[in-house]
Amino acid sequence: MIAVAGSRTLYHTVMIVLSLIYIVPLGWMVMSSFKSKREIFDSPFSPPAVPDFSTWAEAWERGNLGGYVLNSVIVTALAVTIILLCALAAAYAFSRFEFRGKTLLLAPFILGLLLPVQSYITAQSRIFDSVYLLNTRWVLMVAYAGLGLSLAVFLLKAYLDSMPKEIFEAARVDGAGDFRTLVQIVLPLMAPGISTVAVFSILSAWNEFLLAMLYVQDDDLRTIPAGLLAFTGRHATDYPMLFAALSMITLPVIVVYTIFHKQVIAGVTEGSVQ
């Protein structure tokens, strides 16, 4: 009993320390967004003497955050939709069908998990240039869908593999085809797995910076991570406005994850049990 209590204490201590490593910088960023630039450097860890709430409104207007948010919402929503539709169809085929070349077709998805985006960014940009997608919203939608598809396929496939085969056999006996089985039976049962893939895909697309900088040059089409560079100059940086913009962009994502974290955990754990 003493050993168990000691291990639990150690576990909770480590979790608290890890949580503080992530929470403290976030809290400091939000707190600094209400300070003046002088306060940030003179007393970086103390609360603001007089909170300046106008910084958030000024950052929203001056930084054109409304346009960047709209672009990020459009790109993220369509990219996640593409990922869910394609990954669900692919996962269902790989999990429930036996066909020649199945393992060979899975290989590209494995490479998608292993290879970093920097390894194929040159070839990818040439392809996008040849089909005239560069400097459009579509280039980011397609690129983000490709980035998230491999993980989505394997997560949904693992979840489908863990489902009892009797469910599919009963549906087949009742005369349900594959499409009807997928829509009416599999989708409701896979809500945690789909939520997991959706949250991971949203976080990845929402925070992606490299491709957003390389593929989109028009400021009116840029997403939030690339648009935040407007607050950083060559010789000076407006830190209060930068922190305010970062806070406005970061907090909604944290709220989304907080709301759906139970579904995410359920999707990962249930999909890992065979």
Domain assignment present for 173: yes
Domain containing 197 — which CATH number? 1.10.3720.10
Q: Give the model confidence (pLDDT) of 100-131 as tens digits.
A: 888 888 888 888 888 888 888 888 889 998 99
Counting the structural domains of the chain, the total is 1
The predicted pLDDT at position 264 comes to 65
Domain assignment present for 252: yes
Domain assignment present for 70: yes
- What is the Cα–Cα distance from 20 to 22, expressed in whole angstroms? 5
Q: Give the model confidence (pLDDT) of 156-176 as tens digits.
A: 888 888 887 888 878 788 787
Domain assignment present for 78: yes
Domain assignment present for 25: no
Whether the per-residue pLDDT at 262 is higher than 90: the answer is no
Determine the structural domain holding residue 82 and report its residue range: 64-271
Q: Which residue has the higher pLDDT, 77 or 10?
A: 77
Q: Give the model confidence (pLDDT) of 199-253 as tens digits.
A: 888 888 888 888 998 899 888 888 888 887 766 655 467 788 888 888 888 887 7
Domain assignment present for 20: no
Q: Mean pLDDT, to the nearest integer, of 123-144?
A: 90
- What is the Cα–Cα distance from 78 to 224, expressed in whole angstroms? 16
Query: Which pTM was predicted?
Result: 0.79
Q: Provide the 10 A C-beta neighbour count for residue 63.
A: 22
